[in-house]
Structure formats: structure tokens, C-alpha cells
Amino acid sequence: MTTATRSTGRGSSILAVLGNPDFRLLWLAGGADNSGRWMEAVVMALLMLDIGGSALQVALLFAFRWTPMLLFALVSGMVADRANRRVVMIVARGVAVAVTAILLVLVASNQARPEHLFVGSLLLGWLYVLEFPSRRSFIYELVGGRQVVGAMSLETISTTIGRLLGPLAAGVLVGQAGFTVAFATLLGLYSLAFLFVLLVRTRLPARSSDRYNLWGTAKTGFGYAFRNPVVRAVLMGTIIFNALAFSVESLFPVVATEHLEVGPELTGVLISAQSFGTLGAALAIGLVPNLRYHGRVFCFGMAIQLVTLILFALSPWYPLSFVLLLCSGLGAAGFSTMQSTIIMLSSPPEIRGALLGVLGQCIGVAAVGGVIVGFVADYLSAQAAVALSTGLGLTLLIPVMLFTPLVKSPISPAEE
């Protein structure tokens, strides 16, 4: 059995984090998984439209993908604190391969129906939720608190590359080769992620005892979150963003095809635009030594993204829409990098999984937002749903910035 070696160096150097071979494997696994996950979202949305689905059904795909995060995040947090996290990641990746293989068979045989896509989204969403806190906790144990910003920046870069390449590949493959080839590519990506996780050598035992149960985990996680003003503020911002901003991304394929009137290839390019901005910004954040005001990066990142999404909804031209999504990616980097980072820095190790489970549940409200924006898009239009939702999000963000310590105070690591 091997043990993780924590870095004792100062700062949050990306190069130092990449020096850890098991982190590199997890990062590569995350890259393959993220590329597949964001490619899958676009492929399924385009397939739903191709078989006669409505804007509401496209939004429901998003809702099914994120409903498990809302319902089971606390369970996955408990699992992260009690189970072998490496085994959890292996199981999640392996089952994802099986689910994707079944979808590939259905698509190749022309048997795919909306209900199949809904079930596939639900299962893949559940597997993502199962892995989410275990992966974050495993990474923290690998690199330690001093380098967690660098690690989370690399995680954001991995997610961003996936969000960049995934939709691009989805648009090109669907437009040029069809849905069967697109799903075969998804299967290959998820298989790579499974292989990389299998190669991780570090073994980390659970830190919590058997006395923790689901309700105890919920009480511990929510209790600490309500007592800690920094964690409480991050969760408030997470709820606002995921319910009112992240949820509208489900409508991007609808905006592209019905409002901007472009085909699959340009739809993929448009959806990838956000990632170009996020990639550069996340890299810049990761290179900042001894960052102290994590909350400012978190809040202003949200504000930038909300403002640019409002303008995106009002844009009548494809080039302008592309530029606006590109700019929104700058804000997305700040929000996504600091979200888990602040939670992990502000929590003791024995309840870190529980708090990440609470964070996951807050992220899961995106499912509720997805249903609501789907109905609004069906009743009004996709662009109206985007504008109304993100406008409300910006309004609710202002009190969080003014009346919580996120913007005012630096973040200090909790006792290890």
C-alpha cells in the first residue's frame, strides 16, 4: 500500500502539482471524462432535436443530468468520507462505459427515443455525482492545502478543455459522420478515463469512522456550512449561479439552431467559445502565487459571466454571440476554480467529503432551473429564457457580494 505525499512547498504552483504522477493520471482521466461529458451534452441535444424533440425536451435532458446531484449529493459525500475513493472512481467510470455502450447500440440500430436519452442522462448524471466528492477529496489528499489552488486550476483547465473540444467534436462528428460515430467517440473517451483511473497507485483510507450515517452526514455538513460564513456564502452563490445561469446552457443548442440559424458544426463552435476564455483565465489564476482573496475571484467571476450571458441572449448575430460567450468564459474560470477551493480550504479534513456533498446538492439545483427555463423557452423563446434567468441571477448576486465576507476578507486554510 502506498501513501500520498503532500507538498510542503509554498504557493500553488501548477508545475509542482503536475510533478505528482497520480495527480497527472487523475488529470488525464478528468480530461477524457470532461471531453466526453460536454460532447455528450451537445450530441444528445442535437439528437433530441433530430428526432423531433422540443426546446423543453432538450432542457429536460439537462434536468435529468443534474437531478442526481440535487437528490444524492449528500449520499456521495458520505461515501467520499467512508469508502475507498479510488474504488468509487473506478466503479463510476466503469459503469459510465457500460451506459454509453448501450446508448451506442440504440443509436446504431435507429432505436433511440427521447425516453432512452432521458434515462441515459439520468444514469450518467448519477455516476458523476457519485464520483464528484470522492475525486475532489482524493485530489486534496494528494496535493495538500498549500497547492490546492494549483490543483483546482488544473481541474478547471481540464474541464475547460473538455468544454472546448467536446462541443466542437460533437458538432463536427454529427454534421460530417452522424450520430453513431459521435457515440462511438464518446465510448472511446469514457474508456480512456476508466483506464487512467485504474492506473492510479495511491491508496487513501477513509478518514471518518463507521458511526457516521446519512442523517449524521447531512447534519454535520449543513451545520458546519451554516456556522461558517464563508462556506455559507459560497453555497449561496452556488445556488444562484447553478439555478439561474448554468441551467440556461441547456438552451445554447436551441439558440444556435433556431435563433441564429446555424448547423451542427457552428453550433459546436459557438458552445465551445466560452471555454476559450475560461482556459486562459484558469491558467492565469493557477500561476498566481499565494492568492489570498479567493472570494473576490469567485464573486467577480460570477458577475462577469451573468452580465455577458444577458448580452448573449440579446445578440442577433452569430459573431457577436461567439465573442460574448468567449468573454463569459473569463468569469467562469474564477467561479469554477474557487468554488471547491474555498470549501476545501475552509473545512477540516474529517468533514470535507460531507461539505463537498452539500456543495454538490447546491449545484444540483441546476436541474430545477433547467426545467423552469425549458418551460419559459417553450412559452416565449430560448433567448428570452436566458435573459430573464441570468438577469435575476445578477440581481440576487449583489447582496452576496455586499453582505458576506467573500469579497471583504482573505481565506485561511482550516486546521489539518
Residue 220 has pLDDT above 80, yes or no: no
Cell representation of residue 402: 455586499
Give the domain 14-202+212-408 fold.
Growth Hormone; Chain: A; (1.20.1250)
Q: 63-109, pLDDT tens digit by residue?
A: 999 898 888 877 777 777 677 778 888 999 999 999 999 999 999 99
Cell of 330: 473569463
Question: Which helix (H) or strand (E) element contains residue 98?
Answer: helix 85-108
The DSSP secondary structure of 342-368, one letter per residue, reads: HHHHTS-GGGHHHHHHHHHHHHTTHHH
| Range with lowest mean pLDDT among 111-115, 128-132, 262-266, 346-350 | 346-350
pLDDT confidence of residue 210: 53
**Any idea what DSSP says for residue 245?**
T
Q: What is the spatial distance between Cα 237 and Cα 339, in angstroms, rounded to a whole number? A: 9
What 3-state class would DSSP assign to 27? helix
Grid cell, residue 73, equals 449529493
Mean per-residue pLDDT of the chain: 84
Residues 6+ apart with CB under 8 A from 175: 263, 264, 265, 268
Q: How far apart, in Å, are the Cα atoms of 213 and each of 220, 247, 359, 360?
A: 10, 31, 18, 18
Q: Are 164 and 272 in contact (CB under 8 A)?
A: yes
What is the rounded CA–CA span in Å between residue 100 and residue 237?
33
Cα-based distances in Å from 396 to 119, 137, 226, 297, 392: 33, 30, 19, 17, 6
First to last CA, the chain: 23
What angle separates helix 179-198 from helix 85-108, to the nearest 10 degrees? 160
389-411 average pLDDT score: 87
C-alpha cell belonging to residue 92:
463510476
Percentage with pLDDT > 90 across the chain: 36
Q: Which helix (DSSP H) or strand (DSSP E) does residue 115 occupy? A: helix 114-143
What does residue 406 show for φ and ψ, rounded to 5 degrees?
-60, -45
Does residue 119 have a pLDDT over 60? yes
Lowest-confidence region among 8-22, 178-192, 301-315: 8-22
pLDDT in tens, 26-38: 889 999 999 999 8
Domain segments of the chain as ranges: 14-202+212-408
**What confidence tens digit (pLDDT) does each residue in 191-210 have?**
999 999 989 887 665 555 55
Cβ atoms within 10 Å, residue 190: 27
Cell of 80: 467520499
Q: At what angle do helices 352-363 and 214-227 cross, to 10 degrees?
A: 80
pLDDT grade for 118, boundaries at 50, 70 and 90: very high
pLDDT band for position 3 (50/70/90)?
Answer: very low
**Cα separation of 322 and 173, whole Å?**
20
- Give me the pLDDT at residue 211, please: 54
Confidence category of residue 398, pLDDT binned at 50, 70, 90? very high
- DSSP symbol at 255: I
Does residue 413 or residue 360 have the better pLDDT? Answer: 360
What is the average per-residue pLDDT within 204-224?
65
- Which string of DSSP letters, residue by residue, matches 261-304? ---HHHHHHHHHHHHHHHHHHHHHHHTSTT---HHHHHHHHHHH
| Residue type at 122 in one-letter notation | L
The single-letter DSSP state of residue 212 is: -
Tell me the pLDDT tens digit for each residue of 275-303: 888 887 877 777 776 777 888 888 899 99
- Region 314-324: what's the mean pLDDT? 94
pLDDT at 372 over 90: yes
Q: What is residue 396's predicted lDDT score, i.e. its pLDDT?
A: 95
Q: Are 232 and 113 in contact (CB under 8 A)?
A: no
